[in-house]
Amino acid sequence: MPNRPTSDLLAALEARLGPRGFTRDADAMAPWLKDWRGRVEGAAAALLSPADTDEVEAIVRLAGAAGVAIVPQGGNTSMVAGATPDADGASLLLSTRRMRTIRSVSSQDNVAVAEAGVILSDLHEAANGIGRRFPLSLAAKGSATIGGLISTNAGGTQVLRFGTMRALVLGIEAVLPNGARFDGLSALRKDNRGYDLRQLLCGAEGTLGIVTAASLRLVPAAAARAVAWVGIERADDALGLLRRLEDAMGEAIESFEIIPAEGLALVLRHIAHTRAPLTDPHRWHVLIEATARAGAPSPTDALEQALARAIEEGHAADAIVAASESQAEAFWRIRESLSEAERIDGFAAKHDVSVSVSVMPWLLEDGAAEVEARFPGVRVLGFGHLGDGNVHFNVRAPIGMDSKAWLADQGDDISAYVHDLVRAKDGSISAEHGIGQLKRAEFARTAGATRLHALQAIKQALDPQGLFNPGKLLP
Amino acid sequence: MPNRPTSDLLAALEARLGPRGFTRDADAMAPWLKDWRGRVEGAAAALLSPADTDEVEAIVRLAGAAGVAIVPQGGNTSMVAGATPDADGASLLLSTRRMRTIRSVSSQDNVAVAEAGVILSDLHEAANGIGRRFPLSLAAKGSATIGGLISTNAGGTQVLRFGTMRALVLGIEAVLPNGARFDGLSALRKDNRGYDLRQLLCGAEGTLGIVTAASLRLVPAAAARAVAWVGIERADDALGLLRRLEDAMGEAIESFEIIPAEGLALVLRHIAHTRAPLTDPHRWHVLIEATARAGAPSPTDALEQALARAIEEGHAADAIVAASESQAEAFWRIRESLSEAERIDGFAAKHDVSVSVSVMPWLLEDGAAEVEARFPGVRVLGFGHLGDGNVHFNVRAPIGMDSKAWLADQGDDISAYVHDLVRAKDGSISAEHGIGQLKRAEFARTAGATRLHALQAIKQALDPQGLFNPGKLLP
């Protein structure tokens, strides 16, 4: 059990960090004590905002000597309250927001070195500035930070081609619980010197180390993109379509997102200035983005031809390739507005799950039907990254019911049922959001003894006092 | 300190594994007790060859209860004696050679599930059989096994495009030191349930778990390839050429190998039926392979055009694109015969090091010159995977000297010097071969306290008795 900080410790931290790096002011702290989804409110003894890695090291040493816990926080956009301290107020909240330097960007190495507090969209801009891009993006890009993206092994819409954050991290600098700096920033494409600590820190949710900077992989800028909206009748067709497109266009296919008819209807109902891309209704829709690098032929012709063949072969019912960048943006807007439209429509039991790609059609159709049969009246809305086997499987209240009361009453049972369904297919109860606080109990229930034991042994080995982000991930 | 097995334990193992799975016969064991490079000879109390994961589990439980060590072995092709037991003969040698089932290959999931003892070339064949390929290959593909490739995070010649083994492992089944089976075989593209045990086992050299099976990523088959041989005058030009080709051809560039004039000369001297691809001599040579999937235009025209432009722009002196598959094979044969030619020529102090890609030209030219100045008469031969920042940096004896005696006398000093040179540039002393036994002392000397402490803590947490592959990796 971590200690509450003494006034001596707080004074030492204040002296080390100065007025910009230390505050206990309630108003200044308030926005960072509540999680992004507004479901958890925590408290902290102080908000620390170190300016650099030396200051992070100093904080960890002082807190470690006093047995006081530290909760690291980046953009505070966790979907699972992974950066919100416990309500007891005994922890120190460590924000990386002042560590916003992009130390270097290199088109020779195809690497950017960014501090933990660098905001994703700033990194995108820096990469674009040298004719490269950082190929990971998500809705929260204007506030999500590099440190948070690494600690949660973030996904997004380009995983199909480029993988999750862990595939893009070439080096990590971090401060470990014992106060030592792990200097693994060198961007080595190959390095077989034992257990890969970089990979261990990726997705560890700040429980094993505080990431202070990272070397990140850049790829050539995309010079052109083609965006298509496709109507299909069975989820199974979507998978056939994806493999068909990959055969025809290879790695040019970057995004492949599935949206059910109900999802499109919700967006059209609740989000201004949206319209259905196709005239006829379809059971499912797929949003596809293909890109081409500078000098390569535009991907539009290839995508149009491949889709025409897919329609002939029965993998798709209808399709339209955006004729302009504004139409492409309109297609994407539908996908990106789905969560908001759903929120406006009412509360839902939300699940971020993954299965093998070939099991996705089953989950979207048969799995959804099982849930709807077990909880009569509920409506499953499954959408997301079909090519990654990752679906946002949201269960909405029966029509006419107060969705908030329904969720409070039924939410846990429904979630347990959905997670069991996914686990029975060897899937994951957290595809991209992590465990944090909100999924901790379900993780403990479903993880199995072997995995839990191994994770706890590693945590105990690297953080024997349990001071790094307590109350997250592990039971 | 592990115990020596009692006759009771050996009898129990023999009863459990049967005659095909258990032997103490000296002749049967001999080939597996010597490392591939013939530098280390070990001993074992018995050779165990389990037929399946249940038997591996039984072995680990029996040995664990008795405090007896296990050395896992795949194809026994380690370059660092990573699968050779200690000479004291107290360990059990566990061979995966009977676990050779490819459990499934799926073109829907783009996944193969292979047991640990599956030989790489067999996996290649199975993938080809469904119009896919497994994009990792290396010289030992006829004997290297999946379990060994994972445990050493193997590299090879396609890392530039597809990454090392860890980028291709989607799931792992393993038996942990406590005898529990880690059932992480499900091929999830996204799975954020805490620390990634799959990634932790990749490259752990069998010290944290015995990999019994893996789910592996497949990619679309390549329908055509273009192979070019390029002459250049400065290592720096090679990097410029690589970036130029990537701009022009993107991910079609799969291999980019650099070979110095001396390397080509060695091959021409010692390997029958080889000839120089270009008429004029050049200081450096680059071997390039580009591929195209079925239905895409042949990569030959694009590569020819890109090389013509590179010559115009001064990034290359001369180039030839293979006009036939047999010419392509002849180009590759030069690259693949380099180690053999070098071996015929005499002993050398060999180093498998990596640096940031942009530092490669420095290492190949200035770094090599520093070594030659420090050890007068020696000749550095640096060749390998320039695009990955990984070079085989071999130091040959002065002309006229007995290379074996010279290596025994000077080898350690030279290796320490080379490793320090690489570490000063934040590079790795083991890019793809791992640490095993042969690099253990140098790893301990150069790793730094933070890394060593973290690795030892993890090892202690998961294998408190120190029974899995003792004497490897960690000091």
- One-letter identity of residue B201: L
For A20, phi then psi, to 5°, come to -75, -20
For the residues A416-433, what does the mean pLDDT come to? 97
Flag the least confident range among A281-285, A455-459, B138-142. B138-142
**Residue to test with chain A: of B61, B153, B169, B193, most A Cβ within 10 A:** B193
A205/A147 Cα distance (integer angstroms): 10
What's the half-sphere exposure (Cβ side, CA atoms, 13 Å) at B459?
A: 24
The pair of three-digit structure tokens given for residue A449, joined into one six-digit string: 């003894």
Fold of B225-326: Alpha-Beta Plaits (3.30.70)
Q: Is the pLDDT of residue A437 over 90?
A: yes
Round the average pLDDT of chain B to a whole number and report it: 96
In the predicted structure, residue A266 carries a pLDDT above the cut 90 = yes
Distance of alpha carbon B438 from alpha carbon B267, whole angstroms = 27
What are the backbone dihedrals phi and psi of residue B412, each rounded to the nearest 5 degrees, phi first? Answer: -65, -40
All structural domains of chain B with their residue ranges: 102-220, 225-326, 346-434
For residue B406, give how far its alpha carbon lies from the nearest alpha carbon of chain A (Å): 28
Q: Of A384, A366, A383, A386, which Cα lies nearest the Cα of A374?
A: A366
pLDDT at A115: 98
Instruction: Determine, for residues B190 and A239 on separate chains, whether the beta-carbon distance falls below 8 Å.
Output: no
CA A386 to chain centre: 15
Would the CATH topology of A223-344 be identical to that of A346-433? yes
Residue B45 buriedness (CB in 10 A; 0-12 / 13-18 / 19+): buried
Closest-CA residue to A319 (of A346, A288, A353, A365): A288
Mean pLDDT of A2-31: 98
> Average pLDDT of A444-458?
97
**What do you get for the CA distance between the two ends of chain A, in Å?**
14
Tens digit of pLDDT for each residue in A211-248?
999 999 999 898 899 999 999 999 999 999 998 998 88
Q: CB distance A200–B195 less than 8 Å?
A: yes
Whole-number pLDDT of residue B346: 92
DSSP readout, A261-306? HHHHHHHHHHSTT---SSSS--SEEEEEEEEEETTSPPHHHHHHHH
Cβ pairs A/B, distance under 8 A: 252
Q: What is the DSSP letter of A178?
A: T
Long-range CB contacts (within 8 A, 24+) of A394-398 = A394/A342, A394/A348, A394/A349, A394/A350, A394/A351, A395/A348, A395/A349, A395/A350, A395/A351, A395/A371, A396/A342, A396/A345, A396/A346, A396/A348, A397/A346, A397/A347, A397/A348
Q: Distances from the Cα of A252 to the Cαs of A131, A164, B251, B398, in angstroms?
A: 18, 17, 10, 51
- For residue A110, what are its two tokens? 């195809």
In this predicted structure, what is the pLDDT of residue B216?
98
Separation in Å, CA A447 to CA A24, A439, B176, B180, B343: 38, 11, 16, 14, 50
Which pLDDT value is given to residue A416?
Answer: 98
For testing contact with chain A, the best of B105, B157, B185, B195 (most A CBs within 10 A): B195
Across the interface, which of B167, B191, B220 has its CB nearest the CB of A428?
A: B191
E strand or H helix that includes residue A350: none
Dihedral, A311, A316, A320, A326 alpha carbons, nearest 10: -150
Q: What are phi and psi of A260, to 5 degrees?
A: -80, 165
* Long-range contacts of the stretch A132-135 (C-beta < 8 A, 24+): A132/A105, A132/A107, A132/A218, A132/A219, A132/A220, A132/A221, A133/A218, A133/A219, A133/A220, A133/A221, A133/A222, A134/A168, A134/A216, A134/A217, A134/A218, A134/A219, A135/A161, A135/A162, A135/A168, A135/A219, A135/A254
How far is B215 from B111, CA to CA, in rounded Å?
Answer: 6
Q: Please report the sign of the dihedral spanned by the C-alpha atoms of residue B194, residue B199, residue B204, residue B206.
A: positive
Residue B396, pLDDT score: 96
Architecture, CATH, for domain A223-344: 2-Layer Sandwich (3.30)
| pLDDT tops 90 at residue B232 | yes
Q: What is the pLDDT of residue A174?
A: 98
Query: Tell me, what's the pLDDT at A298?
Result: 85
Nearest to A155 among B190, B200, B457 (CB): B190
Confidence of residue A1 (pLDDT cuts 50, 70, 90): confident
Chain B residues in contact with A108 (beta carbon < 8 A): 239, 243, 357-358
Min Cα separation B451/chain A (Å)? 7
| Minimum mean pLDDT range among A292-301, B8-17, B281-290, B297-306 | A292-301
Q: Is the pLDDT of residue B201 over 90?
A: yes
pLDDT number for residue A296: 80
pLDDT digits (tens, 9 = 90+) for A159-188: 999 999 999 999 999 999 999 999 999 999
For strands B70-73 and B92-95, give the pairing: parallel
Short-list A60, A234, A229, A73, CA closest to A145? A73
Q: Looking at the partner chain, which of B181, B387, B458 has a beta carbon nearest the beta carbon of A195?
A: B458
Q: Give me the pLDDT at residue B270, please.
A: 97
| Beta-carbon separation of A192 and B431 below 8 A | yes
Fold of the domain built from segment(s) B102-220: 3.30.465
**Nearest chain A alpha carbon to B432:** A192
A194 to B427: CB separation less than 8 angstroms, yes or no: no
pLDDT of residue B118: 98
What is the mean pLDDT of the segment spanning B329-357? 94
**Strands A181-184 vs A169-175: parallel, antiparallel or unpaired:** antiparallel
A346-433 adopts what CATH topology?
Answer: Alpha-Beta Plaits (3.30.70)
Task: Identify the architecture of domain A7-95 in CATH.
Answer: 2-Layer Sandwich (3.30)
How would residue A256 be classed by pLDDT, with cut points 50, 70 and 90?
A: very high
* Chain B residues near residue A199 by CB distance under 8 angstroms: 166, 196, 199-200, 202
User: Over 90: is that where the pLDDT of B418 sits?
Assistant: yes
pLDDT at B293 over 90: no
* Cβ–Cβ gap B357/A110 under 8 Å: yes
% of chain A with per-residue pLDDT over 70 = 100
Distance from C-alpha of A113 to C-alpha of A168, rounded to nearest angstrom: 12
What would the mean pLDDT of A423-435 be, rounded to a whole number? 96
Q: What is the pLDDT of residues B359-384, one digit of tens each?
A: 999 999 999 999 999 999 999 999 99
Residue type, B463: D
| Token duo for residue A395 | 């269960």
Please, are residues A175 and A56 in contact by the beta-carbon 8 Å criterion? Answer: yes
Q: State the helix-helix crossing angle for B338-345 and B325-336, rounded to 10 degrees.
A: 40
Q: Do the chains contact at A190 and B294, CB–CB below 8 Å?
A: no
Whether B349 contacts B288, CB under 8 Å:
no
Write down the pLDDT at residue B250: 84
List the single residue in A with minimal CA-CA distance to B433: A192
* B39 has a pLDDT exceeding 90: no
Q: Give the whole-angstrom CA distance, residue B71 versus residue B44.
A: 9
**Which element (helix H / strand E) includes A431?**
none
Instruction: Give the contacts of B337 (CB within 8 A, at least 6 positions apart).
Output: B267, B270, B271, B274
B200 closest CB neighbour out of A200, A248, A449: A200
Q: Do A166 and B474 touch (CB under 8 A)?
A: no
> What is the reported pLDDT for B295?
76
Q: Is the dihedral of CA A147, A150, A153, A154 positive or negative?
A: positive
Mean pLDDT of B385-396: 94
> What is the β-pairing status of strands A169-175 and A92-95?
unpaired
pLDDT over 90 percentage in chain A: 92
Chain B residues lying within 8 Å of A434, measured CB to CB: 192
Please say if the pLDDT value at position B85 is more than 90. yes
Q: Which fold has domain B346-434?
A: Alpha-Beta Plaits (3.30.70)
